[in-house]
Amino acid sequence: TQLLEQSPQFLSIQEGENLTVYCNSSSVFSSLQWYRQEPGEGPVLLVTVVTGGEVKKLKRLTFQFGDARKDSSLHITAAQPGDTGLYLCAGARNQGGKLIFGQGTELSVKP
Amino acid sequence: ETGVTQTPRHLVMGMTNKKSLKCEQHLGHNAMYWYKQSAKKPLELMFVYNFKEQTENNSVPSRFSPECPNSSHLFLHLHTLQPEDSALYLCASSHAGASYEQYFGPGTRLTVT
């Protein structure tokens, strides 16, 4: 059973376009994390959201946690080739609990 | 060194070999994790250590044997692996009470021939 579903699984866009990646679940999470992983490297933590409805911005990246804490989205404005990578969402049921990962969204931004 | 380091970065081994993966964290954390990342599949949690004690073994075959001598070091001993064990093995660390914020190493790309 896949507890965290990410969509789309693959996304190929041109530089300058906007995009949104979704992370959905039927379960409630106490927190949700977004990571970016480049080829040959480990995932790098981008953001943690903990409050329902919370919105966090990291330069051109906007992260939102759903009101019911079951889903999240990542929006990238004016994508650049440097944004290329695998984006992973991960949720924790409680502070000491293990992380549950989505299957990832592979983003390719072409110049 | 900063963050989480892993060695070796790449490893090719035969099914009869014995090898070990090493992870070291320089973040002052007290929880460490081993994950397996295979193509097209979510990260699979293998083992969790809190304050050097194993707190989770996610039904991992006994050909994988973890060792955590202290809060900064984690090893994964490998023996008689199968080709389907080929994957990227990732180590992560966190504060024990904040496992939701994990910091990953660069991984070891393992190929079993």
Q: Convert the pLDDT of each residue in B9-51 to its tens digit.
A: 999 999 888 999 999 999 999 999 999 999 878 899 999 999 9
Residue B8: the pLDDT is 97
The pair of structure tokens assigned to B56 is 């989770």
User: Using the 8-state DSSP alphabet, how is residue B26 labeled?
Assistant: -
Q: Which residues contact A91 (CB under 8 A, 6 or more apart)?
A: A3, A4, A23, A25, A27, A29, A31, A32, A33, A99, A100
Calculate how close chain B gets to A84, using CA atoms only, in Å. 17
**Rg of the Cα trace of chain B?**
13
> Chain B partners of A4 at a C-beta cutoff of 8 Å?
42
Residue A17 has pLDDT above 60, yes or no: yes
> Chain B partners of A103 at a C-beta cutoff of 8 Å?
40-42
Residue A51: the pLDDT is 93
Give the alpha-carbon dihedral of B19, B21, B22, B25, to 10 degrees. Answer: -170
Residue A2: the pLDDT is 56
Q: Are strands A10-14 and A105-110 parallel, antiparallel or unpaired?
A: parallel
Q: Which residues contact B39 (CB under 8 A, 6 or more apart)?
A: none
Exposure string (b/e) for A23-51, b if CB count within 10 Å is 16 or more?
bbbeeebebbbbbbbeeebbbebbbbbee
Residue B27: the pLDDT is 95
Q: Could B105 and A88 be called an inter-chain contact, meaning their C-beta atoms sit closer than 8 Å?
A: no
Q: What is the mean pLDDT of residues B90-112?
A: 91
Q: Could B97 and A96 be called an inter-chain contact, meaning their C-beta atoms sit closer than 8 Å?
A: yes
Residue A90: the pLDDT is 95
CA nearest A97 in B: which residue?
B99
Q: Could B100 and A40 be called an inter-chain contact, meaning their C-beta atoms sit closer than 8 Å?
A: no
Torsion over CA: B55, B5, A5, A24 (sign): positive
CA nearest B9 in A: which residue?
A40
